[in-house]
């Protein structure tokens, strides 16, 4: 009998033991989402009752992995009543949490959907200021939690005070322990990661971030692929991925350069699509898939996430169906 391939292969005796996954969220949030009949300036907007959900890059990566039947350890900084609400919600979802020892009050974020035109407006707060002592404490907590060979996923924005090169510098320690960093960030932290010779295992960004980083418009897929190849060469990263929206994800590895295109879906919310991608990608890597096949799982997870509201992230059944519809083409 043919075995059905799915995201949770831990019980498959033909598979090797799964690699540990460690997500890191230095700037988590409690996400509030609501809807207004129309978003109009200078008027009181009567909104629907808000949904309250956990947020932050690494937090959502762990949630996506759990949605797909996988397991990860979630490291995060949290504090205050908002932090308590966040961790209570994550524990209710069954996540394995560990604090970074930095207990500043956790921030909030807000997304509002305009019912008149379907557009979504997202308001992201900066988070608390970190001190040098906070950075040292978080670094020690990460290294203490590091398992040999683990996939380490710092994801999301940085709080003020955290050095842009924090995780790039940490990469030496992670690599020495046999670990592999998958970095998904933006802004000045992404610029730090794009410096020559950073040597990350995987570097991911979206099209807009790639354009900002390159200083070019990158209108064609070949332009995106050429820039990904440049990053692959200059940074020494083993894998570089640039998400190009509905067109799919461009990936460059030592063995292949190409596009993985998702099935056509009707989008509901783009929130969490990138985090779902990273979750699907990391989970597939953890079970031994090659990088391109793992990227296909990530593309399927992102496609699933855009069909769900707010930060519900990917759905396992959809991902298992969508991954069979992901197409590959060399660039």
The count of domains in the chain is: 1
pLDDT, tens digit, for every residue of 277-308? 999 999 999 999 999 999 999 999 999 999 98
Measured CA to CA, the distance from residue 257 to residue 250 in angstroms comes to 8
Q: What is the DSSP string of 268-306?
A: S--TTHHHHHHHHHHHHHHTT--HHHHHHHHHHHHHHHT
Q: Which two structure tokens, joined as six digits, stand for 172?
A: 């030496």
**Bridge partners (DSSP) listed for residue 207:** none
CATH of the domain at 170: 3.40.1190.20
Q: Is residue 2 part of a domain?
A: no
Q: Is residue 6 part of a domain?
A: no
pLDDT at 16 over 70: no
Q: What is the dihedral of CA 265, 241, 314, 162, to 10 degrees?
A: -140
What pLDDT sits at residue 246? 87
What pLDDT sits at residue 302? 96
Supply the mean pLDDT for the chain. 91
What pLDDT sits at residue 10? 37
pLDDT, tens digit, for every residue of 195-238? 878 899 999 999 999 999 999 999 999 999 999 999 999 999 99
pLDDT at 15 over 60: no
pLDDT, tens digit, for every residue of 146-197? 998 999 999 999 999 999 999 999 999 999 999 999 999 999 999 999 987 8
Q: Is residue 169 part of a domain?
A: yes
Show the beta-strand stretches assigned E in the chain: 21-25, 29-36, 51-55, 73-76, 96-99, 107-114, 120-124, 151-154, 180-184, 202-206, 239-243, 249-252, 257-261, 327-330
What pLDDT sits at residue 270? 77
Measured CA to CA, the distance from residue 316 to residue 299 in angstroms comes to 13
Q: Is residue 16 part of a domain?
A: no
Q: Is residue 85 part of a domain?
A: yes
Q: Is residue 14 part of a domain?
A: no
Q: Is residue 41 part of a domain?
A: yes
Q: What is the pTM of this model?
A: 0.89
Q: Is residue 73 part of a domain?
A: yes
Domain extent, residue 65, equals 21-330
């Amino acid at each position: 009998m043919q075995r059905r391939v799915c995201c949770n292969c831990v019980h498959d005796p033909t598979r090797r033991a799964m690699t540990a996954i460690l997500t890191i969220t230095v700037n988590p949030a409690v996400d509030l989402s609501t809807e207004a009949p129309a978003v109009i300036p200078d008027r009181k907007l009567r909104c629907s009752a808000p949904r309250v959900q956990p947020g932050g890059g690494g937090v959502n990566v762990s949630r996506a992995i759990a949605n797909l039947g996988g397991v990860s350890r979630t490291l995060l900084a949290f504090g205050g009543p908002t932090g308590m609400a966040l961790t209570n919600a994550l524990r209710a979802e069954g996540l394995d949490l560990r604090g970074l020892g930095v207990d500043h009050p956790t921030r909030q974020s807000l997304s509002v959907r305009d019912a008149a035109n379907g557009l979504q407006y997202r308001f992201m707060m900066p988070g608390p200021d970190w001190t040098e002592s906070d950075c040292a404490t978080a670094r020690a907590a990460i290294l203490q939690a590091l398992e040999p060979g683990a996939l380490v996923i710092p994801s999301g924005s940085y709080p003020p005070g955290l050095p842009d090169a924090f995780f790039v510098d940490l990469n030496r320690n992670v690599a020495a322990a046999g670990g592999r960093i998958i970095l998904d960030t933006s802004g000045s932290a992404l610029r730090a990661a794009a410096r020559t010779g950073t040597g990350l295992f995987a570097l991911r960004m979206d099209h807009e971030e790639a354009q900002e980083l390159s200083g070019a418009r990158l209108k064609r897929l070949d332009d995106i692929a050429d820039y990904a190849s440049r990053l692959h060469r200059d940074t020494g990263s083993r894998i570089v991925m640039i998400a190009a929206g509905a067109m799919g994800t461009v990936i460059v590895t030592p063995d292949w350069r190409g596009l993985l295109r998702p099935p056509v879906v009707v989008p509901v919310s783009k929130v969490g699509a990138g985090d779902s991608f990273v979750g699907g990608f990391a989970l597939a890597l953890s079970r031994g898939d090659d990088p391109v096949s793992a990227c296909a799982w990530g593309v399927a997870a992102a496609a699933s996430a855009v069909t769900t509201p707010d930060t519900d992230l990917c759905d396992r059944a959809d991902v298992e169906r969508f991954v069979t519809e992901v197409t590959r083409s060399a660039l």
